[in-house]
């Protein structure tokens, strides 16, 4: 059988790849890799050039094929693709664990590390080998044969349950709809009634509107539906997804899976020699001690609370003025929007009219052209869906640097959320040729209506965030695949370039570049932008407090989880909520059941990374704000010291090269409207 995944092509052949190709391709490459590894291990002496580099280059073919399969599972999650993917997960997990516990491979790396000065390894090469040896330790290379087998079994179980967690959310969401009559749709924008799978039908002589209950529809209904009873109904239905509240799909309840995942992680960390999974997780993070993370989060909560309480008091007062004496969870988004409209006189619907997707993309590309002297050009190629777009990045000498796909719109068979993942990583092949990096940028925005799409401000921020990840992957100058682009960067540093890009969404000069061309320079547009940017601090302390709540819950359940205790998760969440929740908590709240970042992603005991990275981002951007947000010299400094370096250096060293000092938390507080700053 011809297999397009095994053909030597510059980009994946999405028009040819079928689920039947997944397993044969993976098995074929793994067998080749095992044979080459045996050949490399049979050498009498080990060096960088005859062992480390050939092995890493060998792995790149497998990485490309597996990246392609993972990507298709994320953006085209039909039954055939899912089954083929799940089959491959087991094979890949087993292979990776075999490599991670290969005693001969570990011995070869150790030998090279001990001879690093004789072999004249540079700093990047030394760091690579040091981190590879750490990976071996974290994967149980030091364990007895019996414990190694147990570790492999646990990791295979973990991969299964993490995948099951994601699938339950997708399956529980499918065909889940809310039906509303003409009276119940009052307040909902017209654009929401004609897109995103929403439709109307005559039922028993009455016009009924059907809303598929995905993330987009949920936010629209909770923000705009005037009837409180409708918002409560939607809230309860959405909370039920993949939870014990699900009525007809108990097999899709993630309650037991959450506990199983935590048990397995606890067992793995104890087996390796750590007190908790939180401690195990920090072995590869920028912040290296559990108490440092806890103190960081508690510290920020303390500074956030006074401003957050003022915001809540204002919201409560506004609700009372509108006849609501007590706010519940299903009221918050609605009254936030209504109070925002009163204070700033611009609605989300009105904001969207200013920002067509094409203009936002062109403006975003113009911003990075000014900062980094790069040019971005769109190309037409075949992909996995007709709405996907493809771009190439060129330097100022018209030399191609990298490429990226952009998949912006929500579909039923697509994972929720937004992310960037790699297709190819930049590296030098053994013959010296450069493999240019290729990325996937994925969002879940409101689908196009009549081939036109508009973004609200939050969606623009999301796009800039993901584009920051994309640039971090593509603008790397690292030649070694292990530390290229997004590879082997501590998680609490990896969100820094993405959070950093968001700040250009809060300045008049940069936002003007994103506006619809027909109204870009009008007086009314300038007035609109001024009002939009005034919203910067609106409810920002509470938004930050929400992130801190999620981070603290994540970290504490992974730090304190005890196999012998009952109802421990509820206790931990309750303790955190007493500290961070300023409004009554709903009995329907099911936070953990859809918390994919920590139960199906890489953010377990690491969700705090978003906030720590934002400390770095706010501090870094303050330098641009001081000297000019389009200052090319400072842009070049950021490019050379942060974006190009990948995982080659200690992150704090890279940050200090750019900022010439340690990070300062006060810029994060200032950019969130919090005036009671931390003493310097």
Query: 265-271: long-range contacts (C-beta < 8 A, 24 or more apart)?
Result: 265/158, 265/558, 265/561, 265/604, 266/561, 266/563, 267/154, 267/563, 268/151, 268/154, 268/155, 268/158, 271/140, 271/143, 271/147, 271/150, 271/151, 271/154
Q: DSSP E strands: which ranges in 326-383? A: 375-379
CA-CA distance, 387 to 494, in Å (whole number)? 28
DSSP 3-state assignment of 322? coil
CA-CA distance, 468 to 478, in Å (whole number)? 18
Q: Which residues are catalytic?
A: 466
For the chain, state the CA radius of gyration: 25
Mention every residue, 6+ apart, whose C-beta is less than 8 A from residue 126. 113, 116
Q: How many CB atoms lie within 10 A of CB 389?
A: 18
Q: Which helix (H) or strand (E) holds 421?
A: strand 419-424
CA-CA distance, 309 to 303, in Å (whole number)? 11
For residue 191 the two structure tokens come to: 């654009």
List Cα–Cα distances, 452 to 196, 205, 363, in angstroms: 13, 33, 17
List Cα–Cα distances, 311 to 91, 277, 488, 537, 583, in angstroms: 51, 36, 39, 10, 11
* Burial of residue 91 (number of CB atoms within 10 Å: 0-12, 13-18, 19+): middle
CA-CA distance, 121 to 48, in Å (whole number)? 8
Could you tell me if 312 and 582 are in contact, meaning their C-beta atoms sit under 8 angstroms apart? yes
CA-CA distance, 401 to 391, in Å (whole number)? 11
CA-CA distance, 23 to 88, in Å (whole number)? 6
Q: What are the counts of helices (DSSP H) followed by strands (DSSP E) for the chain? A: 27, 10
Q: Is 273 left (phi over 0), alpha (psi -120 to 50) or beta?
A: left
CA-CA distance, 492 to 98, in Å (whole number)? 28
What's the 3-state SS for 182-242? CCCCCCCCHHHHCCCCCEEEEECCEEEEEEECCHHHHHHHHHHCCCHHHHHHHHHHHHCCC
The phi, psi pair for 427, rounded to 5°, reads -165, 160
């Amino acid at each position: 059988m011809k297999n397009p995944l095994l053909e030597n092509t510059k980009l994946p052949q999405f028009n040819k790849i079928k689920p039947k190709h997944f397993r044969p391709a993976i098995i074929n490459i793994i067998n080749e890799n095992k044979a080459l590894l045996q050949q490399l291990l049979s050498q009498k002496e080990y060096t960088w050039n005859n062992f480390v580099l050939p092995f890493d280059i060998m792995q790149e073919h497998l990485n490309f094929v597996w990246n392609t399969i993972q990507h298709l599972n994320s953006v085209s999650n039909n039954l055939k693709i899912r089954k083929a993917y799940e089959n491959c997960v087991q094979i890949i997990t087993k292979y990776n664990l075999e490599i991670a516990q290969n005693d001969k491979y570990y011995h070869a790396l150790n030998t090279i590390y001990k001879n690093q000065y004789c072999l004249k390894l540079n700093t990047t090469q030394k760091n690579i080998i040091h981190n590879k040896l750490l990976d071996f330790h974290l994967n149980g290379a030091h364990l007895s044969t019996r414990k190694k087998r147990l570790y492999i079994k646990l990791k295979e179980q973990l991969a299964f349950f993490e995948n099951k967690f994601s699938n339950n959310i997708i399956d529980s969401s499918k065909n889940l709809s809310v039906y509303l009559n003409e009276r119940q749709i009052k307040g909902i924008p017209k654009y929401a009634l004609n897109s995103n799978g929403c439709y109307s039908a005559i039922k028993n002589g009455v016009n009924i509107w059907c809303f598929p209950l995905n993330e987009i529809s949920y936010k629209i209904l909770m923000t705009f539906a005037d009837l409180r009873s409708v918002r409560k109904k939607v809230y309860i239905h959405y909370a039920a997804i993949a939870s014990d509240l699900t009525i007809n799909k108990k097999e899709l309840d993630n309650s037991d899976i959450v506990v199983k995942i935590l048990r397995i992680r606890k067992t793995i960390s104890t087996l390796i020699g750590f007190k908790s999974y939180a401690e195990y997780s920090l072995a590869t993070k920028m912040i290296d001690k559990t108490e440092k993370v806890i103190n960081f989060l508690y510290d920020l909560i303390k500074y956030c609370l006074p401003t957050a309480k003022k915001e809540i008091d204002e919201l409560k007062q506004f609700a009372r003025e509108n006849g609501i004496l007590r706010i519940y969870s299903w009221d918050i988004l609605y009254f936030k929007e209504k109070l925002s409209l009163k204070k700033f006189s611009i609605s989300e619907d009105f904001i969207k009219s200013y920002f067509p997707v094409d203009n936002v993309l062109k403006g975003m590309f113009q911003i990075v052209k000014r900062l980094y002297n790069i040019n971005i050009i769109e190309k037409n190629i075949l992909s996995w869906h007709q709405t996907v777009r493809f771009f190439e990045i060129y330097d100022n000498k018209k030399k191609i640097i990298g490429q990226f796909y952009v998949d912006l719109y929500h579909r039923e068979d697509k994972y929720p959320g937004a992310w960037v993942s790699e297709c190819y990583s930049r590296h030098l092949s053994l013959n010296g040729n450069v493999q240019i990096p290729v990325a996937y940028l994925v969002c879940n925005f409101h689908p196009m209506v009549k081939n036109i799409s508009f973004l609200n401000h939050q969606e623009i921020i999301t796009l800039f965030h993901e584009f920051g990840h994309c640039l971090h992957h593509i603008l790397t100058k690292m030649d070694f695949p292990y530390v290229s682009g997004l590879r082997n960067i501590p998680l609490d540093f990896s969100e820094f370039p993405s959070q950093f890009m968001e700040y250009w969404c809060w300045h008049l000069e940069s936002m003007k570049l994103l506006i619809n061309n027909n109204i870009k320079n009008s007086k009314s547009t300038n007035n609109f932008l001024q009002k939009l940017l005034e919203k910067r601090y609106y409810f920002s302390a509470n938004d930050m407090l929400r992130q801190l709540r999620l981070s603290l819950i994540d970290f504490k359940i992974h730090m304190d989880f005890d196999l012998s205790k009952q109802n421990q998760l509820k206790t931990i969440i309750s303790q955190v909520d007493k500290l961070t929740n300023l409004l009554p908590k709903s009995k329907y709240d099911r936070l953990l059941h859809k918390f994919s970042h920590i139960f199906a992603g890489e953010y377990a005991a690491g969700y705090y990374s978003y906030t720590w990275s934002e400390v770095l981002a706010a501090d870094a951007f303050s330098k641009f704000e001081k000297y000019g947000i389009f200052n090319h010299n400072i842009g070049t400094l950021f490019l050379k010291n942060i974006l190009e370096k990948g995982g080659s250096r200690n992150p704090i060293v890279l940050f200090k090269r750019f900022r010439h000092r340690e990070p300062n938390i006060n810029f994060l507080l200032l950019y969130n409207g919090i005036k009671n700053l931390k003493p310097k």
